[in-house]
């Protein structure tokens, strides 16, 4: 009864005029931060943290939770409309959400995503409320070996993300794991593949990689097609249809929310992993998913969004119960609590139970507020998909450039963005899944650290621990179960061998194998503790690459031509190059990346915002012969919007340039008028 009264008092306080504006303000900021690719909840909470110093505990919690909880709702908007994930946690939403926009179903996709996101957030709050008392003994059962086993299990899902081409998924995961090894080895202080660049000493940032792999390829496809994302006459309504989709798939929402909350409660398992695990679960369990996922199936959007927003409730469990932040965002929330004199841990389960219930109610109300705002304006957001590509591409490229730069605020971010954009586009054209690269990159550092510690503490006996053994067996099943079932399936076709036949896909695979072999040779100069895990990983990748290459060179396609894999079987959003000659595709692709190089060169000469201004001014004039007056107004509007948001509000420190044209200040402009 005392607990009920504390919960009721916390809800009453939060709904009062003294605290509700902070919650609403935080939710609105969370939507804005989520819409801007590359910022993410961590950047938003970092900006908000200093302003909580003068607030009391309830107001600080309301503002912080309001912002952090709603970011996962806001990042859905660019993911679905532009194919640009607002944060790494929305990458899986792109796979089905963006094709729905192309089909003119943006309103349906958005409303389904918003409602699934809210349902996931509410489930996370319930998970937090009811599982804190039992999570204390449960989490104590998880040591380093168990965390390693969970990471390996997550990585094994690349098989289900790769359909009938599991070797490509394995190679993609190896690429991600290898990229995660870049930087200073914490055990031996060895510089691994840093090429004497200070920028790479702390490792490669994830934001340029994610935006490069998932954002630029979609923009390149849009540039090649030379049309808006959806037809101007397409149906952009569909809010009620999206609601019905969520209701019809309510059990999928429940399962994926449980996945998000459960994995979110494990420290170190971030949003960039959880949404792909939930997406993979839906891909392997939903009827007909392998034929429709990746080409605009609303179930893929629902699975990703419900898990992505449920993770916050789970991440609060170890934060409250043990004082161990479940995510980096929770670490900032802990900092805000400590600034209020509140120590996260057992105290929040006893005499400061009011703070715990304030966290729970803030999570509930923030999700409801954020979803309500988004749902009201879903059709207005959806109209973005009908904007002509010649105007949409420069503005979106500007968002991607600034978002990537916000990662570590270095020119290296932009160079990595362009490099991974080219790699991601090649993978998209060749039908290679890009999700395993991101999954391997995110889990790479954890697997490296957990495996080394497990071997140091337990030798190889850690494999026999019960939870570890179960998770590893599940990983083996997830990784090889499909291949084993296919091998024993009746009615299979006989393998027909041929003389080596070189094709463009085979050359692409061979290039990856050569790069991996060169990386393996370069590790020989490192100490044992620095090279052991990269050597194991790269060796697996080389073996998988040679096997895939042998199949491409020596195995003849089945009678009637090679079977075309569905979008779900390659883990990709479907391409729409029908009716465009291969030569035109190649030429337009080179032209698009030439525009990106030109924008970077202009940014290096004059400044990043001026580079975006020139791109917005010249691209419509050259590519679509737009009128000079209309284009000039558009370019000025893009420049002013970016200048006001990033320079005046966020106070972004811009990179040093060769010429360095100064940016105007709001005070100077005010004085002129």
Residue 133 has pLDDT above 70, yes or no: no
Q: Give the pLDDT mean for 252-267.
A: 85
Q: 211: which residues sit within 8 A by CB, 6+ positions away?
A: 37, 38, 84, 85, 400, 403, 404, 417, 420, 421
Residue 571 has pLDDT above 90, yes or no: no
Residue 368 has pLDDT above 90, yes or no: no
Neighbours of 436 (CB within 10 A): 28
> Shortest CA distance to 279 belongs to which of 309, 247, 301?
301
pLDDT digits 0-9 by tens, 293-342: 888 888 989 998 888 888 888 888 777 776 666 666 776 677 777 777 77
529 neighbors 482 (Cβ within 8 angstroms): no
pLDDT at 489: 53
Q: For residue 502, what are its two tokens?
A: 């070189």
Query: Cα–Cα distance between 565 and 290 in angstroms, integer?
Result: 10
- Report which of residues 496 and 498 the model is more confident about: 498
Confidence of residue 254 (pLDDT cuts 50, 70, 90): very high
Q: Is residue 658 part of a domain?
A: yes
pLDDT at 220: 87
pLDDT at 227: 66
Q: Is residue 274 part of a domain?
A: yes
Q: 413: which residues sit within 8 A by CB, 6+ positions away?
A: 205, 207, 208, 404, 405, 407
Query: Cα–Cα distance between 531 and 512 in angstroms, integer?
Result: 20
User: Which of 444, 471, 487 is the last residue in one of the domains?
Assistant: 487
Q: Is residue 445 part of a domain?
A: yes
Q: Is residue 538 part of a domain?
A: no
> Shortest CA distance to 512 belongs to which of 551, 539, 545, 547?
545
pTM of structure? 0.71
Q: Give the pLDDT mean for 129-146.
A: 70
Task: For 82-222, list the strands marked E by DSSP.
Answer: 183-184, 191-192
Beta-bridge partner residues of 555: 497
User: Which of 434, 464, 487 is the last residue in one of the domains?
Assistant: 487
Query: Cα–Cα distance between 463 and 477 in angstroms, integer?
Result: 16
Query: Cα–Cα distance between 609 and 615 in angstroms, integer?
Result: 10
Q: Is residue 288 part of a domain?
A: yes
Q: Is residue 173 part of a domain?
A: yes
User: Which of 469, 487, 505 is the last residue in one of the domains?
Assistant: 487
Q: Give residue 627's domain range.
A: 595-672
Q: For residue 316, what are its two tokens?
A: 């609060």
Neighbours of 324 (CB within 10 A): 17
Domain total of the chain: 2
* 609 alpha-carbon distance from chain centroid: 25
- Tell me how many helices (H) and strands (E) the chain has: 30, 2
63 neighbors 25 (Cβ within 8 angstroms): yes
Q: Give the pLDDT mean for 508-523.
A: 91
Q: For residue 16, what are its two tokens?
A: 């009062």
Q: For residue 580, what are its two tokens?
A: 């465009």
> Shortest CA distance to 92 belongs to which of 104, 82, 102, 83?
83
Q: Is residue 289 part of a domain?
A: yes
Do residues 483 and 611 both lie within one domain?
Answer: no
Q: 299: which residues sit within 8 A by CB, 6+ positions away?
A: 96, 245, 249, 252, 282, 286, 289, 293
φ/ψ (deg, to 5) at 595? -60, -40
Query: Cα–Cα distance between 374 and 23 in angstroms, integer?
Result: 16
Do residues 475 and 608 both lie within one domain?
Answer: no
Helix (H) or strand (E) holding 412: helix 411-430
pLDDT digits 0-9 by tens, 449-460: 888 888 888 877
What percentage of the chain reaches a pLDDT higher than 90? 7
Q: Give the pLDDT mean for 204-218.
A: 82
Q: Is residue 553 part of a domain?
A: no
pLDDT at 485: 59
């Amino acid at each position: 009864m005392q607990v009920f009264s504390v919960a009721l008092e916390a809800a009453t306080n939060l709904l009062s005029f003294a605290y509700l504006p902070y919650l609403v303000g935080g939710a609105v900021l969370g939507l804005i931060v989520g819409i801007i690719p590359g910022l993410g909840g961590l950047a938003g909470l970092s900006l908000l943290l200093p302003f909580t110093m003068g607030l009391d505990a309830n107001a600080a919690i309301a503002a912080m939770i309001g912002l952090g909880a709603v970011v996962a709702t806001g990042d859905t908007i660019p993911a679905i409309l532009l194919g640009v994930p607002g944060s790494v946690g929305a990458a899986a939403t792109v796979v089905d959400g963006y094709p729905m926009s192309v089909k003119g179903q943006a309103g349906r996709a958005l409303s389904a995503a918003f409602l699934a996101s809210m349902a996931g957030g509410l489930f996370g709050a319930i998970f937090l409320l009811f599982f804190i008392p039992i999570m204390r003994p449960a989490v104590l059962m998880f040591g380093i070996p168990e965390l390693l086993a969970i990471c390996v299990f997550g990585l094994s899902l690349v098989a289900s993300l790769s359909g009938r081409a599991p070797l490509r998924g394995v190679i993609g995961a190896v690429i991600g794991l290898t990229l995660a090894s870049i930087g200073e080895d914490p055990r031996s202080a060895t510089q691994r593949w840093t090429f004497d660049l200070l920028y790479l000493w702390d490792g490669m940032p994830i934001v340029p990689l994610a935006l490069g792999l998932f954002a630029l390829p979609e923009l390149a496809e849009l540039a090649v097609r030379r049309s808006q994302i959806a037809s101007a006459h397409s149906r952009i309504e569909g809010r009620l249809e999206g609601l019905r989709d969520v209701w019809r798939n309510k059990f999928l929402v429940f399962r994926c929310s449980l996945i998000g909350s459960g994995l979110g409660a494990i420290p170190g398992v971030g949003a960039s992993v959880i949404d792909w695990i939930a997406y993979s679960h839906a891909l392997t369990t939903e009827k007909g998913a392998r034929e429709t996922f990746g080409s605009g199936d609303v179930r893929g959007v629902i699975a990703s969004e419900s898990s992505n927003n449920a993770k916050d409730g789970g991440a609060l469990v170890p934060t409250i119960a043990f004082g161990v932040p479940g995510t980096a965002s929770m670490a900032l929330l802990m900092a805000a609590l400590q600034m209020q004199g509140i120590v996260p841990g057992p105290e929040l389960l006893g005499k400061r139970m009011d703070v715990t219930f304030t966290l729970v109610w803030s999570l509930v109300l923030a999700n409801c507020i954020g979803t309500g705002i988004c749902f009201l304006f879903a059709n207005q957001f959806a109209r973005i998909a009908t904007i002509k590509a010649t105007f949409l591409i420069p503005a979106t490229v500007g968002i991607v450039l600034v978002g990537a730069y916000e990662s570590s605020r270095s020119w290296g971010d932009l160079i990595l963005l362009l490099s991974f954009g080219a790699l991601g586009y090649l993978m998209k054209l060749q039908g290679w899944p890009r999700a395993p690269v991101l999954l391997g990159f995110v889990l790479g550092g954890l697997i490296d650290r957990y495996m080394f510690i497990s071997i140091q503490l337990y030798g190889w006996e850690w494999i026999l621990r019960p939870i570890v053994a179960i998770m590893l067996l599940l990983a083996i099943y997830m990784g090889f179960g499909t291949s084993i079932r296919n091998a024993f399936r009746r009615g299979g076709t006989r393998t027909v061998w041929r003389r080596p036949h070189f094709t463009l896909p085979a050359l692409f695979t061979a290039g990856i194998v050569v790069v991996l072999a060169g990386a393996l040779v370069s590790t020989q100069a490192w100490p044992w503790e620095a090279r052991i895990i990269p050597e194991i990983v790269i060796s697996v990748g080389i073996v998988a690459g040679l096997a895939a290459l042998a199949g491409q060179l020596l195995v003849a396609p089945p009678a009637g031509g090679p079977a075309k894999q569905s979008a779900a079987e390659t883990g990709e959003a479907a391409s729409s190059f029908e009716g465009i000659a291969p030569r035109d595709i190649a030429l337009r692709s080179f032209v698009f990346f030439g525009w990106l190089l030109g924008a970077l060169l202009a940014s290096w000469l004059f400044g990043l915002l001026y580079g975006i201004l020139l791109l917005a001014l010249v691209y419509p004039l050259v590519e679509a012969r737009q009128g000079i007056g209309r284009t000039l107004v558009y370019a000025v509007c893009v420049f002013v919007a970016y200048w006001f948001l990033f320079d005046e509000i966020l106070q972004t420190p811009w990179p040093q340039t060769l010429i360095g044209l100064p940016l105007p200040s709001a005070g100077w402009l005010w004085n002129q008028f």
